[in-house]
Amino acid sequence: MTGPVAALALRGLMKSYDRPAVDRLDLAVRAGEFYALLGPNGAGKTTTLRMVAGLLKPDAGSIDILGIDARADPIAAKQIVAWVPDEPMIYDKLTPLEYLAFVAGLWGVDPSAAEIAAQELLDDLGLGPHAHQRCESFSKGMRQKVALAGALVHEPRLIILDEPLTGLDAVSARRVKEILQSRVRAGATVIMTTHILEVAERMADRIGVIIAGRLVAEGTLTELRGQIGQGQSSLEDMFVALVDSEAAA
Ligand SMILES: Nc1ncnc2c1ncn2[C@@H]1O[C@H](COP(=O)(O)OP(=O)(O)OP(=O)(O)O)[C@@H](O)[C@H]1O
């Protein structure tokens, strides 16, 4: 009997530079889940996600996105994935509304539906008053929010975000979290890297920890406590214990 299709299934994923950055990584994220990917600096999180987003060629392994073999059919895979990098690029000479219309056009979204979605996203992210200003004058956080809106305007089924909350003020961070949670409630899957462990603790259905390119722990907070913590251990306590034990090994 086959189970439900995973939103993301990685098997034996491998990428080396002078040494392995992602080392035969196996990872499965269920459809409809909010998954937080944690790991110390240089653990291989961004490298993994860049391969999933089709921006970096793996040395070996497979990537399945909602049943699509992303290495064999990258275009079909990209159509259902949104990727928000930690340092996004947007077009400075465009206004947020023009940028979102452009991106929605690339995805083949109907222009009038795209305009409604764009306005709603910009309002939700507090960018409504700036919708007609060119992005060139925007702060880093404002650019980040425009990029996030661009990634969400085509209603992707798998949303992958690399450190989306870094650099956002508290109100904006709250709004981004609410938008992501509402996407999950609507059936999308979210995979997010973060160094803010309280965010993972509060928002994620399951948490995966990568160290040196390999998944070393995974589960709900309760499951992780069963594996590595005890009683009411915080995620921070467990994370530090894991990193220390891997360093000692
Ligand atoms: N283009 C590159 N050339 C050489 N080495 C690289 C390159 N990109 C990443 N690496 C190396 O691969 C390893 C994993 O890096 P990666 O950016 O995936 O880590 P990360 O888990 O995202 O870290 P952080 O939390 O600091 O963002 C690191 O050792 C890094 O130096």
pLDDT above 70 coverage of the chain, percent: 99
Question: Which of the four pLDDT bands, split at 50, 70 and 90, describes residue 246?
Answer: confident
Judge whether residue 120 has pLDDT over 90: yes
Domain locations along the chain = 6-89+159-248
CATH entry 3.40.50.300 includes domain 6-89+159-248: yes
**pLDDT bucket at 2, cuts 50 / 70 / 90:** low
Is the interface score ipTM higher than 0.95? yes
Report the distance separating Cα 168 and Cα 121, nearest Å. 16
pLDDT digits (tens, 9 = 90+) for 169-194: 999 999 999 999 999 999 999 999 99
Pocket of ligand 1 (CB under 6 A): 17, 21, 39, 41-47
In angstroms, what is the span from residue 218 Cα to ligand 1's centroid?
21
Q: Please give the helix or strand (H or E) that residue 143 lies within, else none.
A: helix 140-152
Confidence of residue 1 (pLDDT cuts 50, 70, 90): very low
Indicate whether 4 pLDDT > 90: no
Q: What is the pLDDT of residues 55-84, one digit of tens each?
A: 999 999 999 999 999 999 999 999 899 999
Which ligand 1 atom lies nearest to the CA of residue 44?
18
- What's the 139 CA to ligand 1 centre distance in angstroms? 26
The angle subtended at Cα 236 by Cα 235 and Cα 241, nearest 5°, is 100
What pTM was computed for the model?
0.93
In the prediction, which pLDDT does 178 show?
A: 94
Which tokens belong to 116? 């409604």
Looking at residue 167, its pLDDT comes to 86
Share of the chain above pLDDT 90, in %: 83
* Cβ neighbours of residue 88 closer than 8 Å, sequence gap 6 or more: 143, 144, 147, 148, 150
Q: How far is the CA of 43 from the centre of ligand 1 (A)?
A: 7
